[in-house]
Structure 1
Amino acid sequence: MKPLVRNAALSSYVELSQSLGADPRALMKRVGLDPVGLAVQDRWISGVAVTELLELSASASRCEDFGLLLAERRRFSNLGPISLVLREEPDVRSALALLVRHERMYNELLRSRLTEVNGIATVKLGLELGEVREARQAVELAMGTFVGFLRVFLGARWQPVSVCFTHGAPSEPAAHRRYFGPVVEFDREFNGIVLYATELDTPNKMADPLLRGYARQYFESLAVTADATELDRVRELIEVLLPTGRCSIEQVAGSLGVDRRTVHRHLTTSGETFSSLVNATRTQLAEQLVANPRRSLTEISGLLGFSAPSAFSRWFRDRFGTSAREWRACRAAEAPVPN
């Protein structure tokens, strides 16, 4: 499978695009992404599609610094569950090392490395797309996000020694200088952030030593399952796409950045088919939704991706051996009476 990124990579994308006069939904459709799914930040989508989307958005809005403007809107929590642990690390070095070491928990495209030589620390960043394509905006988004991360610990006015990009300078670098400071350099041999090594020793004022053990324990439980299998990813996408009425293997393949044959191959290896996963997901969701008396059966039919309530009724009876209405009544009768 091609590398994926969390939906959080596009946090505030719709708002920024609209403010610059671009049509975010039309642009997302061009690269096979669904704006509806962005509401769930922990879902995974194609990293290549996100990279292409950022380039298209920069062109459509005539904004060379689109990726950087998106980075400015980042919040610490956009990193996902790992942010809870980073807050409790004792100093900047420990937090940064943890962020670098577990980068695949929030972005499978990213390749970062921290080095220290002669009192100078360098964070080098790269993107592993698996193919050759323009990625200027994605690189600037990643660099801006890392600088923003460091400012959480070092203060909003902190500036690095230098910020280096391998690509050329924009026609107007004012936004880069405003965000990074006067030390931004282009046409360099690497993408990275240079700072004084002593700054890494800065204590983390947010940290609570009593909470660090709990945060680490929580993080380790997540890290064990961080490398989601292809089967897990397909299941997640089915759950997201069902309510849209566009839950097809083609749509899932597009979200993963592969073709349908690749999805078929991975499912076959796991002893599954696309239809079996759709049915299993629908069954799990139906049990939760039908048990809730506040939801109408017509509404549930749509949430499960059926074209009409009659189709949902037939499927439910085949799956559960009774009608949805009867099943709901039976569950209600079995529920304990509150004292």
Structure 2
Amino acid sequence: MKPLVRNASLSGYVELSRSLGIDPRALMKRVGLDPVGLTVQDRWISGAAVVRLLELSAAAAHREDFGLLLAERRRFSNLGPISLVLREETDVRSAIAFLVRYEHMYNEMLHNRLTEADGLATLKVGFSPTEPMSVRQAMELAVGAFHQVLREFLGARWQPLSVCFTHPAPTDPSSHRRFFGPVVEFDQEFNGIVFYSSDLDVPNAMSDPLLRTYARQYFESIAVARDTSEPDRVRELIGALLPTGRCSVEQVAASLGVDRRTVHRHLAASGETFSSLLNATREELARQLVANPRRSLTDISGLLGFSAPSAFSRWFRERFGCSARDWRTRQVTEQYAVERDAEERGAVERGATQGDPR
């Protein structure tokens, strides 16, 4: 299937488009993206559609710097879960290396490389669309976003030795010079940022040694391999779409940049169906949510994508053999029994220790 990117790659897109007098909803629909779904930051969408959207938006707004203007609106948190780890890395080198290593966790179209030679570090940014298309705006957005990350670590006054783009200079390069400084160059051999290697050794002022281990453990628990299987990708999308109430094979196919028949074909090759993955994902989430007595069953119904609580009740009884309320009561009772047994064992062990003549 085609490479995907997180919805967060378009963070700030709607606001920027409106400020430039263009209609973001119309342009998104033109490339097959759902404007409503954009609010779900961790949802995955077609990378090719995002690239086309940025080019169309730049043309509609008559702004060659559209991608760069979007990069200005980037926040550290737009990277998603990986940002939690980056904040706790000990220095800039480990943070950037981590960002490059796990690029597939936020953008499957990116192929970046960090090299060092003769006291210089070069962060090369590469794009690999699956079809011929202009990537100028997407490239400027990506390089601009990396520049923002480096400044997050090195300070607002930090400036690289050069910022390179393979495409020609815009008619008016003032936005690029304002963003990158006078070091921006066009018609170069690669896209990326060149700076001193010593910048990579700068300690991360945001890092907390006590939190670093926890951040790494959390990320590793959710990290997916670069060669994630198609059922896994569909399962991820189902989990992201369920709370929106718009989870369907059509929506998943649109996010993957293919048609529904392609989704069915890939799942069938793995012995799965969309319905089997939908039910399995719902069942896994239901076990977590229903077990929490602070969650109302009505809220849980919505989080699992059911149109009404009655539909959720019927589904739950079919899958679990009892009502959600009865299942919750049994779980709470069992948990109470486990905790009581643990307390009793602890009391016995404490008594035995206190009575030990040694």
Same structural fold, with TM-score higher than 0.5 when normalized by the shorter chain = yes
Q: Which has the larger radius of gyration?
A: 2
Q: Which residue is equivalent to 2:269?
A: 269
For 2:162 and 2:301, locate their aligned partners in 1 and report how far apart those are by CA, in whole Å: 56
1:277-292 aligned within 5 A: 277-283=277-283, 288=289
Q: Which residue is equivalent to 2:351?
A: none
**More divergent stretch after superposition (182-191 vs 89-98):** 89-98
For 1:64 and 1:158, locate their aligned partners in 2 and report how far apart those are by CA, in whole Å: 25
Q: Helix, strand or coil: the match of 1:163?
A: strand
Compute the RMSD of aligned alpha carbons: 3.2
CA gap 1:139/1:306 in 2 versus in 1, 3 angstroms: same
Q: Helix, strand or coil: the match of 1:271?
A: coil
1:259 aligns with 2:259: yes
State the shift of 1:165 in Å: 0.7
**More divergent stretch after superposition (212-221 vs 249-258):** 212-221
**More divergent stretch after superposition (239-248 vs 28-37):** 239-248
1:205-244 aligned within 5 A: 205-223=205-223, 228-242=228-242
For 1:90 and 1:309, locate their aligned partners in 2 and report how far apart those are by CA, in whole Å: 48
Q: Which residue is equivalent to 1:76?
A: 76
CA gap 1:264/1:166 in 2 versus in 1, 3 angstroms: same
State the shift of 1:331 in Å: 4.5
Q: Which residue is equivalent to 1:53?
A: 53
For 2:99 and 2:197, locate their aligned partners in 1 and report how far apart those are by CA, in whole Å: 17
For 1:205 and 1:327, locate their aligned partners in 2 and report how far apart those are by CA, in whole Å: 48
Q: Helix, strand or coil: the match of 1:85?
A: helix
Q: Is the 8 A contact 1:126 1:191 kept in 2?
A: yes
Q: Which amino acid aligns with 1:139?
A: M
For 1:305 and 1:166, locate their aligned partners in 2 and report how far apart those are by CA, in whole Å: 45
For 1:219 and 1:296, locate their aligned partners in 2 and report how far apart those are by CA, in whole Å: 30
Q: Which amino acid aligns with 1:8?
A: A
Q: Is the 8 A contact 2:100 2:112 kept in 1?
A: yes
Q: Is the 8 A contact 1:37 1:240 kept in 2?
A: no
Q: Is the 8 A contact 1:105 1:227 kept in 2?
A: no
State the shift of 1:40 in Å: 2.8
CA gap 1:301/1:35 in 2 versus in 1, 3 angstroms: same
Q: Which residue is equivalent to 2:356?
A: none
For 1:56 and 1:211, locate their aligned partners in 2 and report how far apart those are by CA, in whole Å: 42
For 1:224 and 1:309, locate their aligned partners in 2 and report how far apart those are by CA, in whole Å: 33
Q: Which amino acid aligns with 2:77?
A: S
Q: Helix, strand or coil: the match of 1:5?
A: strand
CA gap 1:186/1:289 in 2 versus in 1, 3 angstroms: same
State the shift of 1:94 in Å: 2.2
Q: Which amino acid aligns with 1:80?
A: G
1:204 aligns with 2:197: no
- Normalising to structure 1: TM-score of the pair? 0.84
Q: Which residue is equivalent to 1:158?
A: 158
Q: Helix, strand or coil: the match of 2:9?
A: helix
State the shift of 1:208 in Å: 2.9
Q: Which residue is equivalent to 2:169?
A: 169
For 1:223 and 1:312, locate their aligned partners in 2 and report how far apart those are by CA, in whole Å: 30
1:122 aligns with 2:122: yes
Q: Which residue is equivalent to 1:8?
A: 8
Q: Which runs of 5+ in 2 are unaligned?
A: 337-358
**More divergent stretch after superposition (221-230 vs 90-99):** 221-230
Q: Which amino acid aligns with 2:14?
A: V
1:112 aligns with 2:112: yes
For 2:177 and 2:184, locate their aligned partners in 1 and report how far apart those are by CA, in whole Å: 7
**More divergent stretch after superposition (147-156 vs 190-199):** 190-199
Q: What whole-Å deviation, never above 9, does each CA across 1:128-147 have from its counterpart, x for those lacking one?
A: 11221111111001000011
For 1:93 and 1:314, locate their aligned partners in 2 and report how far apart those are by CA, in whole Å: 53
State the shift of 1:218 in Å: 3.6
Q: Which residue is equivalent to 1:98?
A: 98
**More divergent stretch after superposition (230-239 vs 51-60):** 230-239
CA gap 1:198/1:39 in 2 versus in 1, 3 angstroms: same
Q: Is the 8 A contact 1:291 1:328 kept in 2?
A: no
Q: Which amino acid aligns with 1:266?
A: H
Q: Which amino acid aligns with 1:63?
A: R
Size of the aligned set, in residue pairs, is 335
1:62 aligns with 2:77: no
Q: Which residue is equivalent to 2:146?
A: 146
For 1:246 and 1:306, locate their aligned partners in 2 and report how far apart those are by CA, in whole Å: 10
For 1:213 and 1:303, locate their aligned partners in 2 and report how far apart those are by CA, in whole Å: 31
**More divergent stretch after superposition (17-26 vs 243-252):** 243-252
1:242-253 aligned within 5 A: 242=242, 246-253=246-253
Q: Helix, strand or coil: the match of 2:48?
A: helix
Q: Which residue is equivalent to 2:350?
A: none
